[in-house]
Amino acid sequence: MANILIAASGSISAYKIADVVSELGKAGHQVQCLLTASAREFVSPLVLETLSGRTVRGDLFGPDVSGTEHIELARWADLMVVAPASANMLARLALGLADDLPSTVALASEAPLLIAPAMNTVMWDKPVVQRHLAELVARGAQVVPPASGLLACGEVGMGKLAPVADIVAAIAAALAPGRQDLAGQRILMTAGPTTTPIDAVRYITNHSTGRMGAAMAEEALRRGAVVDYVLGVDKGVVRPNPPRGSAGRLHVVDVRTAEDMAAAALDRLPLAQGVVASAAVMDYAVAAPSAHKLKRAAAAIALDMVPSIDVLGALRKAARKDQWFLGFAAETDDVEAHGLGKLAAKGLDFLFANEVARLGAGGETGFAVDTNAGVLLSASGERYELALDSKAGIARRIWDIIA
């Protein structure tokens, strides 16, 4: 049975949480309720204390509050549920604010987060609210969507707290043991950008932030794999956040250039059962970087660019026959055609091809965004269209197919 934190924020539907607590207690779970000041206006702490057998918490300071209570609660929890989650609470969670006990515990917790929003339809439809929700989903939160119907204000539309049965079922699913279809596998991953120096202070790189690679690593760890993660580092690069209980199975090596990445990856290749090559490797390098800072001049200068090492090609050439390979291809046009070409040229088992924005444009897929979409291709001819989703969602679907 699990330790479950339930944080309720200001919504008239907060009274329904008593039924959620009751059902969880019947299932044998330990439940600790946290209430915001607004939630206390809608549901009695005494009711929740009676049902949970634990004192309701909500204060950051006071004679009965230790200075580390928020850490103790965060570490105690196997799952944190925010229900109902008001628009205000979604914003605070998305922005990492910590100005009351529920939000402080949420920021300190490494437990999975389950959110059940509830608010007026107009508030729910506001782009800023949806952006906050999307940010939380991109960071791994699960959502129990609100229902549509007659709201407390008399209006009709989306925004009602999900039915108690749906919330309880979502909690049960979140607590269920995850798939362990990668247990016993050691996977080598490359991720992030590489750089090539121009002089002692300048370099060339690309727009990759490593988000997709981090999502692939986190999902592999969740499924039981050991991950050797060779990461190209630069400003803004995202590192994997190991799921609870998996930190000892993640081994990160920081590199900068394509040559550094190839050397580190080749060193670890013999230990791997498979390779996930998601890094955005610079195809060209400056032939002769200056050891000193180049001074500004009125005249134009030219950089002699030469092909850099083909990291994925080097790994595939050095691999054993029993090692499998998944590559990634970020393209601006003819995405699938270029993907098929790379799949064949590199001798890969799978390749995920996705579109990136062209110069001066933006998009929902590719570099420096939280969402992605594309097509997963296999050497045996299968084709899997993956619709727009968070990068964590895309990673789950890729592993579902190839694991």
33 is catalytic: no
Tokens of 292: 């000193």
Q: Tokens 């296999």 — which residue? A: 378
Which has the closest alpha carbon to 330: 280, 369, 295? 280
Q: Which is catalytic among the residues 1, 150, 153, 344?
A: 153
Q: At 82, give phi and psi (nearest 5°).
A: -110, 105
User: What residues contact residue 166 under an 8 Å CB cut-off, 6+ apart?
Assistant: 144
Which DSSP symbol is given to 53? S
Tokens of 266: 């080749």
Q: With contact defined as beta carbons under 8 Å apart, do 373 and 354 qualify?
A: yes
Which has the closest alpha carbon to 14: 56, 69, 60, 72? 56
The alpha carbon of 86 is separated from its chain's Cα centroid by a whole number of angstroms, namely 22
Which has the closest alpha carbon to 9: 62, 79, 83, 80? 83
User: What residues contact residue 5 under an 8 Å CB cut-off, 6+ apart?
Assistant: 31, 32, 33, 34, 73, 76, 77, 79, 80, 81, 105, 109, 111
Strand partners, 386: 374
SS (H, E, C) 94-123: HHCCCCCHHHHHHHHCCCCEEEEECCCHHH
How many distinct helices (H) and strands (E) make up the chain?
A: 13, 19
CA distance 263 to 240: 21
Catalytic residue ranges: 153
